[in-house]
Structure 1
């Protein structure tokens, strides 16, 4: 099987010659230059023989054009951060209008997508990372959105609709560029932040508009549920064919998720450090500090929990940029070893 065939089979729950694998991380030393980012991503995927490329624009790309001041370091493990939000009072939402999403920061990510696709030469499926409109609003304003959605829901929804239209413009431009799908990330669909009723009103309504813009146009569409205590059942019902979440430290487990949905599951790798009940770090991420044997066992545990069909091995979210090469190769060996044993 080539990588396209392997991914398509996994998405359909069919037999694969080996379970697909990918690890994604931010490349914060180069992610402000589209060409450098594209070259780095393709080289990374080729080096470790990953099965697809998840485009990794910096996480604040969707709000810079709306006035958020971003502090950029251009250093490994120092991703850009918010220096000043773009929304400071509720009336500021009035100026949020749809953008064409082909200029500015959005335009840079579109350039990176085009160049990545050109360099990949149809060797890898390429999916673009996009954020839910409510997530973008949160990045624009911070947690004050909890106050704004209550104080003036009409105005806040007007802004959400504008952000939705901007995201759809970006989606359509990426489809024209040739992406094979989208990694749709929501950082707000968790019970620690909103009730399910609130998310359905301020999140799902807009999420579905974005997904509808590409669900029939692309074949590899992932929904990513970010954070703890997530609304898994709600997101699993979205019209996508793959679900990604922090399965190693947040509910449900892979085995539990298999009973909830028949969609392809993307996960199995714990990408975060380990903390005790007091919030103290007791161990680095397994991928960072684990032995080769531990990493291989980690993958085997995931496959045993989820089964070998309808599964793509990957992290629950972005991995650390300091991952040792030996552990990345260990991931590759693990999936090939399982395939050899199955054969």
Structure 2
């Protein structure tokens, strides 16, 4: 293909399974905006556009959904989670970040806001690391009512925020879902405690063209399997997961869904510390598995914040050579 596509053209073509001049490419890590949408917009533009000129600008969840004002000591408190309107200060900062970036990027540059699923937020509310997740899972099995009440409230809040984010200029939502792995809920349990609340939240993103569901497995979950097939009917055009960490592979996923696939690079592998040959081999492996179609080449999850720019610069140079 002789025509050099814009990032918007390239990503849209990949979503539709059409030919691209090269695969769309993106990678990301976290920033420290200290509660400021303006600072997050500046750091995001500098990293994604100025420094690396990536095909998707991804607003990281570094202006987090507000935790309950009072620390949750008992799961019954989840029934009392507040309904949040768009005047919520952190929501206002997220929307400001979107508007500032859209003004800088122009009308068609792919811009996505990262949010977590209702279940993921409940995990976070109940405690750091894996303690909160384990507590929510155990409680859901024994006393599901407060869990379901909390999920419903968070889903409604997210729906409002997503709708406003698209109206503010986001191309879509990057929606990260925890709990859908063999180490966490069973498949049947995720269909009860994850699936319906995911879909309720995603109703707010219906006007977006670049909605992506990320099926999350932590680096410690290398032996686990994600329930990939539970997400193939979600109303989004692309699915993201750590394909180098846990199944399915990209080639297997191509047979399971007609959605675009986002992955191919291990977030703790060559992209963060590998040689040029190792980085190139991993990139070529992803392209060969998919024949370069229906693929957004990306890390499976966030790379470490302190990673050297060198392997990232190598990867960015190499992607221009991939056909």
* Fold equivalence (TM over 0.5): yes
Displacement of 1:31 after TM fit? 5.1
Displacement of 1:123 after TM fit? 6.0
Match for residue 243 of structure 1? 239
SS of residue matched to 1:207: helix
SS of residue matched to 1:189: coil
Residue deviations 1:70-116 (CA, integer Å, cap 9, x gap): xxxxxxxxxxxxxxxx3211321231132114423233222222222
Q: Is the 8 A contact 2:116 2:176 kept in 1?
A: yes
The one of 17, 36, 52 equivalent to 2:21 is 17
Displacement of 1:333 after TM fit? 2.4
The one of 110, 114, 125 equivalent to 2:110 is 125
Displacement of 1:335 after TM fit? 2.0
Displacement of 1:27 after TM fit? 1.2
Q: Is the 8 A contact 1:39 1:119 kept in 2?
A: no
The one of 66, 69, 73 equivalent to 1:67 is 69
Matched, 1:230 2:226: yes
Question: What TM-score, normalized to structure 1?
Answer: 0.85
Residue deviations 1:244-265 (CA, integer Å, cap 9, x gap): 0010111111111111112101
Taking structure 1 as reference, are residues 326 and 123 closer, same or farther at Cα in structure 2, changes over 3 Å only? farther
Ranges in structure 1 where 5+ consecutive residues have no aligned partner:
69-85, 273-284
The one of 138, 163, 166 equivalent to 2:157 is 166
Matched, 1:112 2:97: yes
Taking structure 1 as reference, are residues 170 and 312 closer, same or farther at Cα in structure 2, changes over 3 Å only? same
Taking structure 1 as reference, are residues 196 and 63 closer, same or farther at Cα in structure 2, changes over 3 Å only? farther
Runs (4+) of structure 1 exceeding 4 A deviation are none
SS of residue matched to 1:213: helix
Taking structure 1 as reference, are residues 104 and 151 closer, same or farther at Cα in structure 2, changes over 3 Å only? farther
Q: Is the 8 A contact 2:61 2:115 kept in 1?
A: no
Match for residue 307 of structure 1? 291
Q: Is the 8 A contact 2:35 2:90 kept in 1?
A: no
Displacement of 1:118 after TM fit? 2.0
The one of 76, 79, 82 equivalent to 1:91 is 76
Query: Could you tell me how far apart the structure 2 residues matched to 1:124 and 1:338 are?
Result: 21
Displacement of 1:237 after TM fit? 2.2
Aligned residues: 306
Match for residue 53 of structure 1? 57
Question: What TM-score, normalized to structure 2?
Answer: 0.90
Query: Could you tell me how far apart the structure 2 residues matched to 1:220 and 1:241 are?
Result: 7
Match for residue 214 of structure 1? 205
Range with bigger deviation, 92-101 or 237-246: 92-101
Displacement of 1:199 after TM fit? 0.6
Query: Could you tell me how far apart the structure 2 residues matched to 1:183 and 1:175 are?
Result: 12
Taking structure 1 as reference, are residues 315 and 155 closer, same or farther at Cα in structure 2, changes over 3 Å only? same
Match for residue 172 of structure 2? 181
Taking structure 1 as reference, are residues 261 and 120 closer, same or farther at Cα in structure 2, changes over 3 Å only? same
